[in-house]
Amino acid sequence: MESELARVVKLKNIENWGIWKFQIRVILNSYGALDVALGTDIRPADLGNTANEATRAYMKNLVTWNKADATA
């Protein structure tokens, strides 16, 4: 991700907002983090005491979300 961010046009003011926004959206989308950055993908809810299968699914979703959140 560092190399992609190095090529992003620096945000100056309203004059280059459109280009900057487009570049950031493309990068975040390529890493699966756009929905987290926009707030449309929320952190999975805690399960409490449930079956092992549900816990494994929760942990998988949580790892995916945490990775996207860290990228965003």
Cα 5 to the center of its chain, rounded Å: 15
Give SS3 for 7.
coil
* 1-40 per-position pLDDT tens digit: 567 667 888 999 899 999 999 999 999 988 888 988 998 9
Give SS3 for 8.
coil
- Distance, CA of 30 to CA of 66 (rounded, Å): 16
More confident residue, 25 or 56: 25
- Distance, CA of 58 to CA of 37 (rounded, Å): 21
- Distance, CA of 58 to CA of 55 (rounded, Å): 5
Q: How confident is the model at residue 43 (pLDDT cuts 50, 70, 90)?
A: confident
